[in-house]
Amino acid sequence: MRHLTDIELQEVRKEITRKEISSAEILMEIYDHYISHLQEFPEEEFNEQLFELDQKFTYAYCHALQAKFKKAAHADISKTQWQVLRSYFCLGRWMYFVGFLAMAIYLSTYFQTVEEAKLIILLPFILLFGFQLYYGYQSYKHMKPIRQNFKGIGIPIQSSLAGFFENRASLPGMFIYAFISFPALFFNWEPTKVIAPQVAAVFTVLITLYALSLIEVWKIKSKTALV
Amino acid sequence: MYRMHMSTNNLIKGSLQTIILKLLEENERMYGYEITQRVKELTEGEIKITEGALYPALHKLEAEGLLTTEIQQVDNRVRKYYSLTKDGQKEVSAKMSELQSFVGHLQRILDPEWKPGLA
């Protein structure tokens, strides 16, 4: 086994860049495969072996691999989040949850204004925002060596799981946007006016639970993935 | 020689997941290229796992929760190691007996006189 020269490494990166892979997971795996393989051969055989590898890792193959990986990763995260929620809700925790919910509903009866209800519903977003900041930093740290290797290729390299976490973290925001932006729907309409603070309290509890489960999934995945 | 490799590779396709699981049971953790080399070494080059089949199989096993991954910095790059999860460890024996039973049935079809245990 030998170490590849800088020129050889550049050549490898150039060939891989042509495949226009944007998934960091696939990129790092293919790059490692190329290097591990080429290190086994003497310098004279470098070009021939690189050509052979390119015949195996074609553009179409890499993109199919990337698409399948993304699909499987997303399905895996959804499954994990569901498992986290299910395992969370054992009998003892159901009681905690019901107690917490009852307390939130009770406190909501003290709300005097629409602004107070809006404010309470925004509380879990502090948690989600904090999570997004921390997660963004951790993801940046994990991605740094891969981005450095493929600097300036003109394709944004991102973890296949990153987009999923971003979407999931912003999902409750879109829902609550309606609650905050159209208060008339909840606070001025006669049938919902009376229970609006309680609805806000229930949403707060549910979104908190959702945020906690998402953080739990991230904690599990961050041990093994680039997030 | 090329034709023989082609037919061997076609035969191996259905057993690829079992091979990966078995290798990981014996080696604790391995990366993609290492798996291809280990198979080549064990079969003296007769069986070559193609990259085209290996990575989709690894990702599928990972998504099914049979494999877990670990990322490690090696030289100036990042390497992804695969290892068995608890479910994966259980699955190895199930897959192995399934494959052994299949090989036994195949042997009986090819040679009706053959009995298990006979050389």
Residue A32 pLDDT: 96
Model pLDDT, residue A112: 74
For residue B96, pLDDT over 60 is answered with: yes
Could you give the percent of chain A with pLDDT greater than 90? 30
Q: B88: closest CA among B16, B20, B37? A: B20
Share of chain A above pLDDT 70, in %: 93
The interface predicted TM-score (ipTM) is 0.85
Question: What is the pTM for the complete model shown?
Answer: 0.81
Note whether residue B9 is domain-resident: no
Confidence of residue A9 (pLDDT cuts 50, 70, 90): very high
Question: What's B116's DSSP letter?
Answer: T
- Does the residue B115 lie in any domain? no
Q: Residue B104 is part of which domain span?
A: 16-110
Q: What is the mean pLDDT of residues A30-57?
A: 96
* Residues 88-147 in A contacting B (C-alpha not used; CB under 8 Å): 142, 145-146
Residue B92 pLDDT: 94
Q: Distance from B24 to chain A by nearest Cα, in Å?
A: 17
The Cα–Cα gap between B34 and A84 comes to: 34
Which residues of B are less than 8 Å from A76 in CB distance?
62-63, 65
Cβ-nearest to A35 among B51, B71, B77:
B77
Check if A33 contacts B (Cβ < 8 Å). Answer: yes
Region A55-81: mean pLDDT is 90
Q: What is the C-alpha separation between A160 and A130, in angstroms, rounded?
A: 21
d(CA A23, CA B2): 34
- Greater confidence (A39 vs B3) lies with A39
User: Given a cut of 60, is residue B1 above it in pLDDT?
Assistant: no
* Least CB–CB distance from B52: residue in A35, A61, A142: A61
Can you spell out the DSSP letters for B8-54?
Answer: HHHHHGGGHHHHHHHHHHHHSEEEHHHHHHHHHHHTTTS----HHHH
A36 in contact with chain B, both atoms CB, cutoff 8 A:
yes
In chain A, the residue whose alpha carbon lies closest to the alpha carbon of B64 is A76
| DSSP calls for A103-167 | HHHHHHTT--SHHHHHHHHHHHHHHHHHHHHHHHHHHHHHHHHHHHHTTT-SS--B-TTHHHHHH
CATH number, domain at B78? 1.10.10.10
**pLDDT tens digits along A114-142:** 777 777 778 888 888 888 899 889 888 88
Interface check for A4 against chain B (CB to CB < 8 A): the answer is: no
User: Is the predicted pLDDT of residue A48 greater than 90, yes or no?
Assistant: yes
Q: Would you place residue B5 in the very low, low, confident or very high pLDDT band (cuts 50, 70, 90)?
A: low
Whether A25 sits inside 8 A of B55 (CB atoms) is no
Domain membership flag for residue B4: no
**Closest CA relative to residue A35, chosen from B9, B21, B24, B31:** B31
CA distance A222 to chain B (A): 10
Alpha carbon separation from B30 to A30, A109, B5, B53 (Å, rounded): 15, 58, 24, 16
- Asked if residue B4 has pLDDT above 60, the reply is no
Domain count, chain B: 1
Q: What residues of chain B lie within 8 A of the CB of A225, using their CB?
A: 69, 71
In what side-by-side order are the strands of the sheet with B67-74?
B29-31, B77-84, B67-74
pLDDT over threshold 70, residue B3: no
The pLDDT of residue A13 is 94
Q: Is residue B30 part of a domain?
A: yes
Question: pLDDT tens, A175-219?
Answer: 777 766 666 666 666 776 777 778 888 888 888 888 888 888 898
CB contact (8 A) between residue B51 and residue A73 = no
